[in-house]
Structure 1
């Protein structure tokens, strides 16, 4: 329609300066009527246009029609108004669903219960759904959380059943102390009947007594009892190397193992603290990092220098004592910002910059530590198994034995790390659970094992196969496929990749003697190893269960355990967020339930 109320017919006519009207189609003059302006109209114009091609006239008429609003002009009835404004009853299914969603939001987003009583939240809810009768903080804290917690517990108990999880479950456990609470965590790890690796947070339990070995052991057993898990189903317990934790597991006779990530942390710290020159350089760098992380002015000045020099405008990273790889990240960032830091020290002082030799040592130290971080990340991955421990240790040994940088202090640092690696991992390397997990992983098999260990392997596997029934609970596909784990990123082969290729070369036929090993084991060893990066050991066993019925049952047990207790540590990071200032008065029992729901609701896809 023509703008400003002007008739659509004027699209085809032009008004001249003397008031005449000319047709744009045929150039004929058309009268608007005689007399004053108020008597002039468009009737003659429409009549003239009608004599022109039919499609022009009809199109113009259609465009001249007033637009009908798309929304209904009908007034809502009283019933409709009441339906949109009347509050739902407390037992209305819609009310209960909203209660459930809000409680799940509080748990999974780590929000304080008091959020439901905030003025802003109430305004949002009143606008989004005015019919919902919003409950108080007390309702969610004392009633709704318990309802959801009970539902999730019951669902997880079904997941932990022998029918789904099999005969063996592995665990990780750790202890944590805050300003108001001391807690002990328990996470469960198993491979379900569909060959999916499952990780569950079972318990975050308050510790009310001194953390003696006996108390730790008793608490562990009580947590198993709460979840109705027989002690015989415990495959392996991953824990830290604390004396009380070690003693606790020994006292209750649980098969246990130290966290490999924690041991590697100690190994690297042994090396870093072995040389005075390295200690001094790291101390200088930490002082520089502290200066920039505690001064906004220093950060602003550094940013200007970075811009002037064309250096990446990254902040300076501060190393923390509890995570060795933060030292590596600090080193890498300092080396990247070397020019900017040197210029800052020259202009503003405040700290002593590194000498040319010290910068060289720092660079070589970062080069040494880089591959070690790759191993740490391998130990910490959610889908990692204890099967990766021996290959990783073999690679680290090759790395530290190789000829590295000749810079002062670095060679000795590497030697100390190698000695510490061999000493601290001695028990882990000989553990039956670690060795068999490696053998039963189709990516590794006997590759990293020496012949004398393979002799034990044959004995252990034969004994285990004689006592373990075939795993009939697992589901197998009808056709065999070549299982692959998709790569998450394009990776250029690293130094570690080449070292893995070396340590995972297939063993000779002499290393695996057939005498005394049943045919199933022989056939498995003759199978080619699958790709370390793209191959998925769980999918491989899923597709080969029918070919190796007894070995697959053992693989389901031994591949279930992670190489580290990192998941238990992550639980405490969550607890720290739950116990922040706005919830500092939260009772320990409620914190345990919130942490439990935080991890397990997404895992269950909010279905329980």
Structure 2
């Protein structure tokens, strides 16, 4: 008689699994719907790849598919809905076998199974309540309705019905589902509805970012930028490139109107133009105005930037600059002088040619012009360093630093020696094409480490410099100290005007023109002679020009108005020229309007005039009184002195405003990190937007 064991069994399994070994009754897991075996081409090792995200996983013989299932539950809870998660321990104890005559299960095991099922039912209820709690938190705190889409409710229901589902895994799965439905936003970023006011605020921030950081306008079309903004604020309507262009042009027109109103009260306006090249080899000229305000502050405002076309003549560029100045309310006749310069990234020959072009443009504008002080110093020093023997020294010094940087033995010895002397190792490698300041820094670094280098390498090492080269190196450092000091002085914010140009340059020449001595090498003396000749010819120091603007600026500066850098004979024509110019300004004031009437004090009516209220009518008397003043400290800002003494010299202070407004350089001599970043960022701007963005970037104070 055959007995149907399946009908008498109490377990929910098929007859084909009755009393079979554990390995033979295992079914294929449902995780393999989303997983696939792969073989590595590198080492022929096997791994498992997730079909949903492409992540590489492993499944060992001990863990089986547990880590694969955990990955699906944690990362892809919205797509993976398992009907049951088997308990491996329960399977090992025979829970999946049917209870029949061939089963080893007894009544105690059945009781344990019933108790386990009851407990699992309670866990399911708790999991469901926990899921509802998390869902309410997501809806209340994050502002996202998890049940807005029907698929979300079904996904959470499937998760809560999972057998023996751990509470921590369930929380992670629900949180992951919430992130995927809300655009992969981390929990720290709460989704906020993008209202019109919030969208306007984001648009203003983007517009301000384009101006302050000088970023191209087409950055808003980048996928990475859009993903970032969408992660922070979903639903934000991105502005178009055309819309930003219209906003830039409108802001540019508004800024030029405000700038014209601000410059209308200026007596004289100094100009500077900077010729620079972007990353696409397109040339631009940026024009900047310099004025002395009513409270005696030196203000600089960018008028605009014009693009120099390839086939444009000097007359065309001059007309573009004239039109741009007119739009900002600047009349060329009110400009005492224009200072021109370049970005300084070209060679000496190219820089010289570009300076000639700028000088020709200034000539067509019919305005006095002079080159940038930094350009003149740089060209003079570079020409002096172009001597073949000095060029060989620069090359050998660079090779020495390369050897010290690459040889491991030298590095260890240098580090040990410098550690004993408590010094740091900083080396700069350069060649003849580098700037003179970089070459000077390299020489100073080698001179500081000369003793250590000779100790490590030895005097006869082929990579080391010869004794004569070390001597010339020290002589060059001493000669360049005066030039570096001049750059530091003229780069100071208190010396923006050109009044310190002639006193400083005469000091540099005095430092360089030392008498020939026996202890100076031939190369060192040649360098000094060439540098002195270059500075005298390029800076117009061979003769005294009383009517030059820089000479008059020094004569009206309270720090240098005694003109001690000149001889007694040379001071006379300078003072006479300043008196003549003051007389011309006085006559122009009488022709344009009535002179100011000063009220007499009661003391004047009772006691008459004295040395304080004596009215000086002749301009030469004002100059003589001014020259009787004691010179102020060289560290003092001359504009502060004029602000305090404006009422004492009312006519002379107007002349001072018209002369001291002319800058000493077209580009910053001492470039800070922010200035260098600005000069580099402007090279990547679109030629259509460069005028508006540079204007708004430099003239941010107009809108405060």
Considering the TM-score relative to the shorter chain, is it more than 0.5? yes
Q: How does 1:163-182 map to 2 (within 5 A)?
A: 163=265, 166-178=266-278, 179-182=280-283
- CA offset digits 1:202-243 (Å, max 9, x no partner): 222111144644344334323323323111111111124622
Which of these residues, 96, 99, 107, is aligned with residue 203 of structure 2?
99
Which moved further from structure 2: 422-431 or 186-195? 422-431
**CA distance in 1: counterparts of 2:669 and 2:237, whole angstroms:** 35
Query: Is the Cα–Cα contact under 8 Å of residues 203 and 239 in structure 2 kept in the other structure?
Result: no
TM-superposed deviation, 1:443: 0.9
Tell me the SS of whatever aligns to 2:329.
Answer: coil
1:243 maps to 2:356 = yes
Residues 157, 383 of structure 1: alpha-carbon distance in 2 compared, 3 angstrom cutoff? farther
Which of these residues, 629, 633, 640, is aligned with residue 531 of structure 1?
633
**CA distance in 1: counterparts of 2:241 and 2:407, whole angstroms:** 45
2:424 alignment partner in structure 1 = 312
1:593 alignment partner in structure 2 = 692
For structure 1, the 5+ residue unaligned runs are 1-73, 473-513, 581-585
- CA offset digits 1:230-270 (Å, max 9, x no partner): 11111111124622222222233211112222222232234
**CA distance in 1: counterparts of 2:458 and 2:358, whole angstroms:** 50
**CA distance in 1: counterparts of 2:526 and 2:281, whole angstroms:** 44
Tell me the SS of whatever aligns to 2:479.
Answer: helix
**CA distance in 2: counterparts of 1:234 and 1:416, whole angstroms:** 35
Query: Is the Cα–Cα contact under 8 Å of residues 287 and 302 in structure 2 kept in the other structure?
Result: yes
Query: Is the Cα–Cα contact under 8 Å of residues 273 and 286 in structure 2 kept in the other structure?
Result: yes
- CA offset digits 1:421-454 (Å, max 9, x no partner): 2222226962521111101111110322333443
1:437 alignment partner in structure 2 = 553
**CA distance in 1: counterparts of 2:378 and 2:226, whole angstroms:** 48
2:536 alignment partner in structure 1 = 422
Query: Is the Cα–Cα contact under 8 Å of residues 236 and 561 in structure 1 kept in the other structure?
Result: yes
**CA distance in 2: counterparts of 1:154 and 1:568, whole angstroms:** 30
- CA offset digits 1:175-218 (Å, max 9, x no partner): 23343411112111111111110112222211114464434433
**CA distance in 2: counterparts of 1:358 and 1:341, whole angstroms:** 14
TM-superposed deviation, 1:323: 3.0
Residues 596, 340 of structure 1: alpha-carbon distance in 2 compared, 3 angstrom cutoff? farther
Tell me the SS of whatever aligns to 1:335.
Answer: helix
Query: Is the Cα–Cα contact under 8 Å of residues 259 and 328 in structure 2 kept in the other structure?
Result: no
- CA offset digits 1:55-85 (Å, max 9, x no partner): xxxxxxxxxxxxxxxxxxx99999x999983
TM-superposed deviation, 1:108: 1.3
Residues 134, 456 of structure 1: alpha-carbon distance in 2 compared, 3 angstrom cutoff? farther
Tell me the SS of whatever aligns to 2:699.
Answer: helix
Residues 314, 436 of structure 1: alpha-carbon distance in 2 compared, 3 angstrom cutoff? same
Higher RCO structure, 1 or 2 (CA under 8 Å, sep 6+): 1
**CA distance in 1: counterparts of 2:669 and 2:203, whole angstroms:** 30
Tell me the SS of whatever aligns to 1:531.
Answer: coil
1:368 alignment partner in structure 2 = 479
1:285 maps to 2:400 = no
For structure 2, the 5+ residue unaligned runs are 1-136, 146-189, 342-351, 594-615
Query: Is the Cα–Cα contact under 8 Å of residues 380 and 531 in structure 2 kept in the other structure?
Result: yes
Query: Is the Cα–Cα contact under 8 Å of residues 172 and 567 in structure 1 kept in the other structure?
Result: no
Residues 140, 329 of structure 1: alpha-carbon distance in 2 compared, 3 angstrom cutoff? farther
TM-score (norm 1): 0.68
Which of these residues, 233, 236, 252, is aligned with residue 133 of structure 1?
236
Query: Is the Cα–Cα contact under 8 Å of residues 113 and 140 in structure 1 kept in the other structure?
Result: no
Which of these residues, 562, 576, 584, is aligned with residue 459 of structure 1?
576
**CA distance in 1: counterparts of 2:676 and 2:194, whole angstroms:** 41
Which moved further from structure 2: 556-565 or 278-287? 278-287
Query: Is the Cα–Cα contact under 8 Å of residues 185 and 568 in structure 1 kept in the other structure?
Result: no
Query: Is the Cα–Cα contact under 8 Å of residues 305 and 343 in structure 1 kept in the other structure?
Result: no
Residues 291, 245 of structure 1: alpha-carbon distance in 2 compared, 3 angstrom cutoff? farther
Tell me the SS of whatever aligns to 2:276.
Answer: strand
Residues 429, 158 of structure 1: alpha-carbon distance in 2 compared, 3 angstrom cutoff? farther
**CA distance in 2: counterparts of 1:267 and 1:559, whole angstroms:** 26
**CA distance in 2: counterparts of 1:169 and 1:269, whole angstroms:** 33
Tell me the SS of whatever aligns to 2:689.
Answer: helix
Which of these residues, 247, 257, 261, is aligned with residue 154 of structure 1?
257
Query: Is the Cα–Cα contact under 8 Å of residues 390 and 429 in structure 1 kept in the other structure?
Result: no
TM-superposed deviation, 1:88: 1.7
Tell me the SS of whatever aligns to 1:172.
Answer: strand
**CA distance in 1: counterparts of 2:285 and 2:535, whole angstroms:** 28
Query: Is the Cα–Cα contact under 8 Å of residues 259 and 564 in structure 1 kept in the other structure?
Result: yes
Q: How does 1:207-606 map to 2 (within 5 A)?
A: 207-210=308-311, 212-240=313-341, 242-274=355-387, 276-288=388-400, 298=406, 304-310=412-418, 311-318=423-430, 321=433, 323-338=435-450, 352-384=463-495, 385-403=497-515, 406-408=519-521, 409-426=523-540, 430=545, 432-447=548-563, 448-468=565-585, 518-533=620-635, 535-567=636-668, 574=678, 576-580=680-684, 587-601=686-700, 603-604=701-702
TM-superposed deviation, 1:158: 2.5
Query: Is the Cα–Cα contact under 8 Å of residues 319 and 329 in structure 1 kept in the other structure?
Result: no
2:67 alignment partner in structure 1 = none
TM-score (norm 2): 0.59
Which of these residues, 215, 220, 235, is aligned with residue 111 of structure 1?
215
1:87 maps to 2:187 = no
TM-superposed deviation, 1:573: 7.5
Residues 518, 440 of structure 1: alpha-carbon distance in 2 compared, 3 angstrom cutoff? same
Which of these residues, 262, 286, 307, is aligned with residue 185 of structure 1?
286
TM-superposed deviation, 1:359: 1.4
**CA distance in 2: counterparts of 1:353 and 1:211, whole angstroms:** 52
**CA distance in 1: counterparts of 2:376 and 2:433, whole angstroms:** 15
**CA distance in 2: counterparts of 1:569 and 1:220, whole angstroms:** 27
Q: What is the number of equivalent residue pairs in this alignment?
A: 472
1:41 alignment partner in structure 2 = none
